[in-house]
């Protein structure tokens, strides 16, 4: 298929994740329009052939597909639902794909507003972090109609390694919350296991070899323990973003009337870590520091 | 090597785990003597050619290698350190291998007592559960001297798939504790993720497909979520044994002056589960029931 027959994509939010993801679309030949609050972060894409728009709404008005990955739910709400935002400005029939990790209820509101204007919307948060975005190996969890999902798949193919249609509007965000809740518990267990091992005088490398491939094994242990051993607490995935995600999950859980004490504990510990100087800007494996520095009390 | 040149092994504790493990030694041609508190649980081994001893001490007195896998630390202490126990009765030069999950400090005491009598002792707890024992795929974490570990390896080869010499006496138990602590957090995260998914109306099978292979993935998720979906709460690994292990870990952590809130939360929740009728006899994946039945309060 020649690039002229590909739909025009507007990509809003060209931070660490978005810049890599948009780059893959450009590489695949999609005509690309970009907007970002800080324009310099789009420089690489503009140099590679993307066109600049002066606002999210202006970007949306020129595209067949609008993809967003911005910071917080408030940012998502603003770029989609402001009077001059994406939903108001997009062309009839356009497909809107929000890949930010945001609230399920907001995803439902956006989908409803989009439908009212003859647009289709998908919530499609990702996991896999900066490395996954760079290497095009993200996992994508998409909520929306079958038709909208089908339209999005060719784009997902450029950005990810796996994509799952998990349900209707909001289901992508709910699935991402389940993902983050599982990670929260696993990180707790992993960090506490190696904190214990350290206190007991065990060699961390040997401990990882002894327990990493068995019933205690996890993606987190395999990927983060080597970084912890090397004193590497760089993100990866930012503590501040994990706190945002866990906060959303706690809010949703309370609304649904369920009690998740492991999630609440993990969120408290990560907030405690963020109180440390520079803690919010570290990677999630830095939870280790709370334990190593003896910052916890019973 | 013909079987007559293999060392004589006394195996003490022929429960679900021990019977399978001892069976592998018998299959490999080791002359086997067995003792168990409940003799009927050794019937299969006796029928297959093992010899019966009337006590742990009597079994030890006839063997080159003594292997134990009994219930609780008090049982370990009794079979090893009673006046007519293994340490008192074993032949000079014998190798003692305790594969029970027990306390590191007791492992150190046994190793010291063994050394005083010219014996060698290893603490070598396992992970992999009943299935690992049956299939000979256990993971073995061994603490003791290099020489003692070297002598034990041919026996480990019969019972396990992986064995690691993790340090001196007690290090095997400490490593097992690290293993259980990691599992505790992972189980919490896994169960809470799928409790959230259920409350949000997501399909569990689809959620597992969407998140199981990415950053939220773990051995626990891959192995236990399918059982939870099928309503299968049979052990696997007993809730009551996990509570024992977590209790040992908490005691050790406190002695070492470290605070592990995730471990303490998991232990509280598993104790809460054990208060339910029959809860202690279920598999660890039954933690799900606490959430599903709304038994938790904030």
DSSP-derived secondary structure for A97-138: EE-S---HHHHHHHHHHHHHTT-EEEE--EESHHHHHHHT-E
Question: Tokens 């998720």 sit at which residue?
Answer: B221
- Check residue A198 and give its pLDDT: 97
* Chain A residues 104-163 with a CB less than 8 Å from chain B: 104, 127-129, 139, 141, 162
Q: What is the mean pLDDT of residues A89-112?
A: 98
For residue B176, indicate whether it is catalytic. Answer: yes
CA distance B12 to chain A (A): 25
- Check residue B24 and give its pLDDT: 98
| Residue of A178, A181, A262 with shortest CB distance to B265 | A262
Q: Strands B126-127, B138-143: parallel, antiparallel or unpaired by DSSP?
A: antiparallel
Q: What is the mean pLDDT of residues A151-175?
A: 98
Looking at every residue in chain B, the average pLDDT score rounds to 96
Q: Strands A138-143, A160-167: parallel, antiparallel or unpaired by DSSP?
A: parallel
Q: What is the mean pLDDT of residues B71-91?
A: 97
Share of chain A above pLDDT 90, in %: 93
User: Maximum distance among all alpha carbons in chain A?
Assistant: 64
Active site residues of A: 176
B32 pLDDT above the threshold of 70? yes
Q: Is B129 left (phi over 0), alpha (psi -120 to 50) or beta?
A: left
Helix (H) or strand (E) holding B141: strand B138-143
Task: Determine the residue of chain B that is closest to A297 in CA distance.
Answer: B259
A3 pLDDT above the threshold of 60? no
d(Cα A73, Cα A43) in Å, to the nearest integer? 25
CATH architecture, domain B3-168: 3-Layer(aba) Sandwich (3.40)
Chain B residues within 8 A of A167 when measuring between CB atoms = 201-203, 206
Confidence of residue B1 (pLDDT cuts 50, 70, 90): very low
Task: Determine the residue of chain A that is closest to B143 in CA distance.
Answer: A202
Confidence of residue B2 (pLDDT cuts 50, 70, 90): very low
* Chain B residues 241-280 with a CB less than 8 Å from chain A: 249, 252-253, 256-263, 265-266, 269
CA distance A2 to chain B (A): 32
How far, CA to CA in Å, does A58 sit from each of A11, A80, B4, B126?
11, 12, 86, 62
CA distance B169 to chain A (A): 11
User: Maximum distance among all alpha carbons in chain B?
Assistant: 64
- Give residue limits of the domains in chain B: 3-168, 174-292
Chain B residues within 8 A of A203 when measuring between CB atoms = 166-167
Q: Give the three-class secondary structure for A179.
A: helix
Q: CATH number for the B174-292 domain, one of 1.20.1260.10, 2.60.120.10, 1.10.645.10, 1.10.1040.10?
A: 1.10.1040.10
B126 pLDDT above the threshold of 50? yes
CA distance A243 to chain B (A): 15
Q: What is the mean pLDDT of residues B19-37?
A: 98
| Residue of A182, A265, A296 with shortest CB distance to B211 | A182
What's the pLDDT tens digit per position in A113-147?
Answer: 999 999 999 999 999 888 899 999 999 999 999 99
Query: Of these residues, B39, B176, B240, B244, which one is catalytic?
Result: B176
d(Cα A240, Cα A252) in Å, to the nearest integer? 19
- CB atoms < 10 A from the CB of B131, how many? 13
Chain B residues within 8 A of A196 when measuring between CB atoms = 174, 177-178, 181, 249, 252-253, 256, 258, 260, 263
How far, CA to CA in Å, does B200 sit from each of A67, A167, B196?
25, 11, 6
A298 pLDDT above the threshold of 70? no
Chain A residues within 8 A of B203 when measuring between CB atoms = 166-167
A15 pLDDT above the threshold of 80? yes
- Check residue B236 and give its pLDDT: 85
In degrees, rounded to 5, the angle at the alpha carbon of residue A170 between the alpha carbons of residues A164 and A176 is: 55
Task: Measure CA of the first residue to CA of the last residue in chain A; give whole Å.
Answer: 62
Q: What is the mean pLDDT of residues A66-76?
A: 96
Where would I find the H helices in chain B? 16-27, 43-47, 56-61, 73-81, 86-89, 104-116, 129-135, 146-159, 171-199, 204-211, 219-229, 239-256, 261-275, 287-292
Global confidence as pTM: 0.95
């Amino acid at each position: 298929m020649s690039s002229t027959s590909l739909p025009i994509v507007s990509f809003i939010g060209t931070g660490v994740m978005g810049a890599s993801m948009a780059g893959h679309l450009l590489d695949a030949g999609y005509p690309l329009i970009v907007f970002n609050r800080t324009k310099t972060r789009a420089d690489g894409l503009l140099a590679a052939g993307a066109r600049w728009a002066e606002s999210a709404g202006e970007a949306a008005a020129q595209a067949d597909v609008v993809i967003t990955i911005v910071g917080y739910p408030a940012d998502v709400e603003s770029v989609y639902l402001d009077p001059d935002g994406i939903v108001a400005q997009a062309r009839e029939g356009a497909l809107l794909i929000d890949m930010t990790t945001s609230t399920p209820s907001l995803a439902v509101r956006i989908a409803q507003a989009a439908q009212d204007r003859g647009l289709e919307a998908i919530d499609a948060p990702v996991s896999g972090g900066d490395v996954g975005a760079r290497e095009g190996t993200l996992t994508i969890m998409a909520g929306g109609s079958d038709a909208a999902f089908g339209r999005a798949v060719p784009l997902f193919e450029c950005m990810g390694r796996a994509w799952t249609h998990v349900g209707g509007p909001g289901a992508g965000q709910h699935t991402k919350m389940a993902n983050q809740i599982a990670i929260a518990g696993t990180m707790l267990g992993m960090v506490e296991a190696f904190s214990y091992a350290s206190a007991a005088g065990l060699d961390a490398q040997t401990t990882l070899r002894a327990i990493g491939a068995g019933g205690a094994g996890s993606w987190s242990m395999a990927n983060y323990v080597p970084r912890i051993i090397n004193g590497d607490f760089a993100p990866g995935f930012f503590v501040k973003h994990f706190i945002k995600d866990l906060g959303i999950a706690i809010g949703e859980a309370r609304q649904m009337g369920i009690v998740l004490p492991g999630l609440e504990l993990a969120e408290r510990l990560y907030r405690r870590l963020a109180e440390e100087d520079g803690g919010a800007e570290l990677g999630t494996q830095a939870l280790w520091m709370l334990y190593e520095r003896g910052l916890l009390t019973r």
